Chain A
Amino acid sequence: MRKVAKFMNPWNVLITVFFMAVQVAGMLAMPTITANIIDFGVSEGNIDYIVRNGFFMLGFTLLTIVSALLNVLFAAKESQGLGHTLRKKIYRMVIYFTNEELDRFGTSTLITRATNDIMQLQFVMMMVLRTMILAPFLMIGAGAMAYSREPKLAFVFFITMPVLGALIWFILKFSSPLFKSMQRKTDNLNRIFREGLTGIRVIRAFNKDAYERERFDEANWDFALTSIKANTIMAFMMPSMVLAVSVTNILITWFGAQFISTGDMQVGNMVAFMTYAMQILIGVMMVSMVLFFLPRGQVAAERVMEVLETPNLIEDPATPKKLTDTDVSVQFDNVSFRYHGAEATALEDINFTLNKGERLAIIGGTGSGKTTLANLISRLYEVESGQIKVNGIDIRDVKQGELRRLIGFAPQKALLFSGTIRENMKYGRPEATDEEIWHALDVAQGKDFVSGLPKQLDSRVEQGGGNFSGGQRQRLSIARALVTNADILVFDDSFSALDFKTDAKLREALKPDTRDAAVIIIAQRISTVIDADQIIVLDQGTVVGKGTHEELKANNPVYQEIMESQLKGEDI
């Protein structure tokens, strides 16, 4: 929380506090004037005094409301502004994260941190700027006013206030772990429900409806019990606070009567004391409310700050070298890589050179390191040892943006953005013409289905491309990579959801278009890699075979095994 404070505007905070102070002063003036009216106006029968002081009251009322409005204005400005600032910062931060940092946090928590956590923080900050400041002002102010008017009677507050404080402390102490566990249990409950929805077919197919209902019921009942417990403790809160103030009122009346009877105190002060007591109660209630929410804000602040304080692992070099467009090539020299904190290397001693006009295929099972290799070329991760050269220059010596401009990338997960097909196609090259887009779609075997859509290139794409099938998404993603006209094209398992026929057609159409490019195709299917100039067989991060299809077929056991499994009995 404290770290978050440095993102705030101290002037705004100061102004907020100032208007709050004025507001409290106005609030405290009310019982004081009332007491005066009773003691000097009513008792003496001085109507004039009553009216005059009445207008004082009105003045203070107006002052209170005006300063309250200004306080709200600045508090809103500051709390929302803080969220705004943090939101922008965290977004910029995450967008520039390397995959390493992204993996460490996980996408979904980063989304939550940039959205929900910031909202929580704003909400709590608004509470802090309004009530958290108001409460102590009000309590101390009311106590001080009471003391200044009648020190003898003020001792009442010194008895009831600590008692009240202790009560609330106890209640919060016992209830807050319960509320925390309630939060966990709601998450659990919702997770089970979600699983029940996403797995509906499996659940039915395996006759697990009853089991699922039971599992849910257990979590549901568990949650209900905990929240009953938590709310039972909370049920003590209001009555005990009211009781504390009631006791205060009784004490004021009893001792007040004694002091008045001996002429040591004015009767108006007694009435004023009761109002002070109520104001103190309001203050305490406000503090307890803020204390209830404060931990949430703290957790949110910590989660946001954790992201903001994460250093980016990959920075552009201070004096970047220029990448030339001539002599397109990709070269891996003894490249090794391991994921953060992993014991084993994900890639071990990878070597290859790929030149202009050539096609390199990488084949291997899941977890063999294919995608990792693809990601390394775009410098989404940093190599551990060895070096990757693009067009003859170490990729660590050039700006990341410049490097990536050279590469057309179709990632394993064919992810599209909401918008139109045209917008998606232009993602890598905003100046692309419709003609170029159609050509890319044609090569990617997507022309037919796109031209079949009523709005063609203007068709809506839902978030993530959810309104297209897996195969369609892959073809659009491939077309998007082609539109960039990049010198180096990387297709990370981009053909997997295509049927054989489409896969074959696509690779055939790709040939004339990529005559001057270096193409890397990552695949699991033999048929996809069969016509590559060079095939690398990966197994558990190491190269276990390198050559053409014919060479590997003849003498590479791993490759043969893969072939065997896919082309069983086929004589080729």
Chain B
Amino acid sequence: MAKGGTSNAAHLRAKKANNFWGTVLRLIKYMSTRFWALVATLFLAIAATIMSAQAPHILGRATTEIYRGLQEGRSLQEAGETIDQFPIDFGIIQNVILTVAIVYVTQAVFQFFQQFITARIAQKTVYDMRKELKEKISRLPIKYYDTHSTGDILSRAVNDMDQIANTLQQSLTQFIISVVQFVTVLIVMSLIDLRLTFVTIATVPISLILIAFVAPKSQKQFANQQRELGNVNDHVEETFSGHTVVKTYNREEDEIKKFDDRSDRLNDASLKAQFLSGIMMPLVSFSRDLGYFGVAIVGGMGVANGTMSLGNVQAFIQYVNQFSQPVRQIANLANTIQVTIAACERVFEVLDEEEMTEEASGLEPKRNTPYKVEFEHVQFGYGDEADDALLMNDFNLTVNPGDMIAVVGPTGAGKSTLINLLERFYDVKGGSIRFEGVDTRDIPKPELRTKFSMVLQDTWSFNGTIWDNIAYGSEEHGHDRDRIYAAAKAAHVDDFVRRLPEGYNTILNEEGTNISQGQRQLITIARAFLADPEVLILDEATSSVDTRTEILIQKAMTNLLENRTSFVVAHRLSTIRDADKIIVMNQGDVIETGNHDELMEQDGFYADLYNSQFASYEENEDYA
């Protein structure tokens, strides 16, 4: 829970693409499967933009005609004639309006279809990327998840994907349109009047200089703001999660003071960031207004001395706007695109991770072996390099069908390593683990894993009904109501589910607050019951289960263990004493193996461990 938030903050802190163009090309490749749609949307965008650039010019012709009629009428008046109407040619105006109406409507239709297609390209591209990422997740080795924080992967799948989705949907078309608009308007303007074009362009450097001046400062402040925001978020997350500790240790005022300091710093930074980013638009508008001013003056003089038409001046007044708009957009988008490409890069990084490989062991299967599971000279370590220290150097163990193997050791002894190896989350570095004589590397993972079932210490349930969560245990029996019911009963899930208002349809929420940790554990046990495996792996399966329920589970489990081989990571004495073999682990390695009596006789680590437990009872006996 804590992980998600911190990495969110961390995620916001660093954003810079390493290989900008390479990533851009790769992103384009994603869209290239929709090549024709892409061409169509580009064509429509360009066509619509060209039309919108033409419209003011065409409409300007009407103004020119009106002005011409006006001037002609004036000169007639000056010549002494009386006219009741200025000689404006309404035929021309009608034509102009008709033409411009067609242009406007076509432009609108084009624009609509362009966005219509873009929505589909963008969403389907993002759909593809999400799908690919999810598929990648199922092909990456467990090692990847053990060495990368969940928060970091999530942030790539969630925040970065969102960023890409938004940019593809909104910013990309905007960017294309802006570029096209900038170029077309420039061309159209220069075809109409070079002097006014020059005046209009002259304002662009002004806005560029202003943007160039403000943008880096604004980016810096934004980075600042994100950093401070991260600090504030971290503090909130930490102290809200540790609320009980803060209260019981009387630290409310200190934490409030710390928070206020951080919030003050954030406020400083965000004020600057918001101000600097907020003035970008007015600054661009300012340069647009300067252009407007220039066009009015130069154009006014031009019309006055007869070297320009009024319609063209009027068109340019609109062009000033059409021309400054893309400059502003591109300036705005430049940052967004940077951020998005960086996001793409992080997603691609996951997609480029090395996948699991299946390597055959090259070992002959042993026929007629009496053992269910066999460890032969197993070597293992988590490191990748050849010279990395091994945790296990030469581990040997034979397990008869129906044996219960207890794994014991102090906290952090590396008991989960055994699970990792049995389930083949990791492969051995040397030696062999055999299931019924066959090296486990030669059994396809799905097949191997239907034979093994595990109940981990970290209970995991998904947002679904209790029913679905139990059914999760088996593909084969997942639809068999009777079997699910039986599994629920066997794991004593049934007892408490009956008391829930929604019964088996109760949806487990993500934080698991609607059922207790112990009940959650029961559900994962029920899942294992349903799976009905040949080998059962229990990782402190009952550590947080109600002690009384535990008795019942013990009974049910004894049934389940019958004719079934099992590995139990145990803390409880009874389990250990009943075990056929005990594996004693310390610091990642197996240091002793044998049954209880043998190990006690050895008088080694196990004996010490056992006695320290036993001692408290003896001591108590003395009191009595």
Contact = CB atoms under 8 A, between A and B. Distances in A.
- Give the interface SS of chain A, mostly helix, strand, loop or mixed: helix
Interface string A285-301: 00000000000000000
B395 interface: no
A147 interface: no
A216 B297 CA distance: 62
B274 A95 contact: no
Interface stretch (A3-11, A45-53, A320-328, A435-443): A45-53
B20 interface: no
Given A206-B531, A231-B118, 10 more contacts: A68-B279, A83-B270, A114-B240, A195-B462, A205-B452, A262-B85, A267-B63, A366-B517, A404-B250, A558-B548
Contacts of B104: 242-243, 246-247, 250
A77 B475 CA distance: 59
Interface stretch (B183-191, B255-263, B384-392, B429-437): B255-263
Given A106-B511, A463-B238, A569-B574, A271 B154 contact: no
Contact of A46 (B241, B304, B463): B304
A546 interface: no
B116 A235 contact: yes
Most buried by B among A91, A411, A469, A570: A91
A305 interface: no
A65 B282 contact: yes
Interface stretch (A155-163, A450-458, A559-567): A559-567
Interface stretch (B29-37, B132-140, B335-343): B132-140
B411 A213 contact: no
B621 interface: yes
B594 interface: no
Contact of A415 (B85, B245, B454, B621): B245
Most buried by A among B104, B251, B278, B321: B278
A91 B259 contact: yes
Nearest to B107: A242
A404 B475 CA distance: 52
Given A205-B449, A427-B245, A566-B572, A504 B616 contact: yes
Contacts of B580: none
B228 to A, nearest CB: 11
B115 A417 contact: no
Most buried by B among A38, A211, A558: A38
Nearest to B275: A76
Interface in A182-202: 186, 189-202
A155 to B, nearest CB: 18
B181 to A, nearest CB: 13
B270 A122 contact: yes
A224 interface: yes
30 contacts: A50-B301, A83-B267, A95-B246, A106-B513, A107-B243, A108-B511, A114-B236, A115-B232, A115-B236, A195-B463, A198-B150, A216-B131, A216-B134, A232-B119, A234-B119, A239-B115, A253-B59, A257-B62, A260-B88, A365-B518, A365-B550, A411-B248, A415-B245, A417-B242, A428-B250, A463-B6, A466-B3, A471-B411, A500-B612, A565-B574
Interface string A89-121: 001101111010010001110110011000100
Interface in A330-378: 363-368, 375, 378
Contacts of A470: 411
Contacts of A409: 244-245, 248-249
Contacts of B289: 30, 57, 61, 64-65
Residues of A in contact with B, size category: 35 or more
Given A57-B292, A270-B66, A561-B551, A499 B130 contact: no
A108 B138 contact: no
Nearest to A242: B108
A99 B244 CA distance: 8
A302 interface: no
Most buried by A among B243, B303, B621: B243
A572 to B, nearest CB: 5
B234 interface: yes
A217 interface: yes
**Closest 6 CB pairs between A and B?**
A365-B546, A471-B411, A235-B115, A68-B282, A366-B518, A568-B574
A92 B551 contact: no
Residues of B in contact with A, size category: 35 or more
A278 B321 contact: yes
B137 A197 contact: yes
Interface stretch (A137-145, A382-390, A513-521, A524-532): A524-532
B306 to A, nearest CB: 9
A220 B127 contact: yes
A418 interface: yes
A253 B612 contact: no
B329 interface: no
B376 interface: no
Interface string A199-225: 111111111110111001100110110
Nearest to A419: B238
B450 interface: yes
B544 A366 contact: yes
A180 interface: no
B575 to A, nearest CB: 9
Nearest to B169: A231
Given A80-B267, A274-B314, A196 B116 contact: no
B5 A111 contact: yes
A193 B157 contact: yes
A570 B618 CA distance: 12
Contacts of A2: none
A41 interface: yes
B423 interface: yes
Given A239-B111, A260-B86, A530-B617, A77 B134 contact: no
A204 B510 CA distance: 20
Interface string B96-126: 1100110011011101100110111011101
Contacts of A73: 275
Contacts of A466: 2-3
A115 B576 CA distance: 49
B267 A261 contact: no
A202 B524 CA distance: 10
Contact of B271 (A80, A119, A200, A275): A80
Contacts of B371: none
B463 A196 contact: no
Given A69-B279, A267-B63, A108 B1 contact: yes
Nearest to A56: B293
A367 B545 CA distance: 10
B69 interface: yes
A463 B2 contact: yes
A41 B301 CA distance: 8
A142 B113 CA distance: 32
A54 interface: yes
A55 B475 CA distance: 81
Given A216-B134, A238-B115, A261-B85, A76 B274 contact: yes
A502 B296 contact: no
B236 A498 contact: no
A534 interface: no
Interface string A165-176: 000000000000
A329 to B, nearest CB: 19
